[in-house]
Chain A
């Protein structure tokens, strides 16, 4: 089946540790995105990439890093510099062939303990 796979679905991290969230898509989409959602809040854009080996900061990039070495993959690293990392993280992708509709993975829940 075509879609976006995020892993892990649930992750616990100790303060001071970096953690990487995986995002893989087989939709042949050029663009990929990472959003953060806090309880009762909307989606905030962390990073996005419109092409391999290129990415741009969104509205809340501080404390996060990404890479886009392959078209299918866009991992997000939550670094120890991120002060309040506990949140729901959503990866998404879009492509011209699908009318630029944004499709989401099922999300990753990160909790700092």
Chain B
């Protein structure tokens, strides 16, 4: 089993849709979790950290479920500019998920 696994995607959604990604991890001792966004042919950039209590940043909400060992990212009111690949990372393992490709269409 891989240390970090993500929904395979791709996700193709219309503008304004709500979309959710999940990411499971295998190391129960993992402590730090993040979501990154990667545009084509660019480096990944931090989107948001994931806290145990859940956290929200505008249209983006991240949650952590330690019991089931997964994190999630919810994007509300999708914009064309949200089109990218979204990566989760578990920093204890320093492993990234394979990424989920999101395309938001007009």
Chain A residues with CB under 8 Å of chain B are 33, 35, 41-43, 45, 48, 58-59, 88, 90, 94, 99-107
Contacts and interface: CB of A to CB of B under 8 A. Distances in A.
Interface in B61-106: 87, 89, 91, 94-99
A48 B43 CA distance: 18
A78 to B, nearest CB: 18
Contacts of A43: 44, 87, 96
Interface residues of B, number: 18
B87 A100 contact: no
A41 B95 CA distance: 14
Interface of B: 32, 34, 41-46, 49, 87, 89, 91, 94-99
B97 A101 contact: no
Contact of B49 (A35, A41, A101, A106): A101
Given A43-B96, A45-B95, A99-B49, A106 B43 contact: yes
Nearest to B3: A59
Nearest to A88: B41
B93 to A, nearest CB: 9
Given A101-B34, A101-B49, A104-B44, 18 more contacts: A35-B96, A42-B96, A42-B97, A42-B98, A43-B87, A45-B95, A48-B94, A58-B94, A90-B43, A94-B91, A100-B91, A101-B46, A102-B91, A102-B94, A103-B46, A104-B45, A106-B42, A106-B43
